Amino acid sequence: SIPVILDTDPGIDDAAAISVLLTDPRFDVRLITTVAGNVSVAKTTKNVLKLTHFFQRADVAVARGAEKPLIKPYQDAANIHGASGMAGYDFAEPTTQIIQKPAVEAMRDTLLASQEKLTVVAVGAYTNLAMLLQHYPEVQAKIDRVVVMGGSLSGGNMTSVAEFNVFTDPDAAKIVFESGLDITMIGLDVTLKALLTAESMVTLSQMNLTGEMLTGLFRAYGDGSMQAGKPMHDVNTLFYLLSPEKYTIKDYWVDVVTTGPAIGATVADIHAKTHQQTNIHVATAIDAAAFNAWFLLEIAKIQDA
């Protein structure tokens, strides 16, 4: 199984990713850390606990992370994900709890204590990860690879050029992208091509309790119109880890714009004009039908408690 640290800001598509992560034995979840993004970190943390409770995974360590971006003022996306961040389903009050260590220290300790190198999956703003790399550079040797949802080479969802996770904390994204770690960027270039279709949602709604829960969330999700389907952004990082052959990957040097009207843009040197090296593996195409089929199968496998 793949040993993973997940950094997240649930968030409806985050909740779908966490549903897979907590139930598929091919993932070995070592830690979940939270960050301010779609909603405040108090809410994203509560939302992760709602999910560890829902899936009866009190064994999974959850640590609360950054309250705001490194430099840029914080702005949420409650207009898309609802006031709680996970609108559309009435979760039970969680009895699962956070560990008493901030996210960055929890990440450091988890990495340093691990026998093998870990995969870091970051599907919110990369604030925690940037702080980790700045404060504890010794952990880099314990990170096998980083897979992020975020960025775009083909237009943004926050501004004409910026994707939400990078736009939320561009300074953090720049630190991570220039860290020298092995980084794969799963951005809007692929996530907007692999929508959960209306047909898949009907199947999902009839499947089991998890299917019902996710259908509730997706119906409340303000991202995308029901006609085209619902974006499943963060879930793509997991499909990529399990089935990389379903994605086209190109290696580029990618810069993050941290000031001015293009703030939050990820710009690839596609003609290798300014950089001899590459720093990011960028997902540029996806087999969308395979993604829908895989996701339905993942949820169908989950047994009701």
Using alpha carbons, list the distances in angstroms from residue 239 to 21, 70, 187, 268, 297: 10, 30, 13, 23, 12
Query: Which two tokens mark 63?
Result: 């640590």
> DSSP code of 4?
E
Distance of alpha carbon 236 from alpha carbon 249, whole angstroms: 13
N-to-C CA span, the chain: 23
The binding track of 128-167 with respect to ligand BDR, each residue x by CB under 6 A or -, is ---------------------x-------x-----xxx--
Could you tell me the smallest distance in angstroms from the CB atom of residue 273 to Ca ion?
32
Q: Do 77 and 164 form a contact (C-beta atoms < 8 A)?
A: yes
CB of 58 to ligand BDR, least distance (A): 24
Q: Which is nearer to ligand BDR, 14 or 287 (CB)?
A: 14
Q: Give the residue carrying structure tokens 């974006």.
A: 231
From the list 31, 77, 107, 123, which residue makes contact with Ca ion (rule: CB under 5 A)? Answer: 123
Among 14, 171, 189, 223, binds Ca ion (CB under 5 A): 14
Question: Active site includes 233?
Answer: yes
Query: Which residues, numbered 32-71, are part of the site for ligand BDR (CB under 6 A)?
Result: 38
Among 5, 6, 7, 14, binds ligand BDR (CB under 6 A): 14
DSSP one-letter code for 91: P
Q: Using the 8-state DSSP alphabet, how is residue 277 labeled?
A: S
Active-site position among 81, 233, 271, 275: 233
Minimum distance from residue 198 beta carbon to ligand BDR (Å): 20
Q: Which stretches of the chain bind Ca ion, using CB under 5 A?
A: 9, 11, 14, 123-124, 234
Annotated active-site positions, please? 233
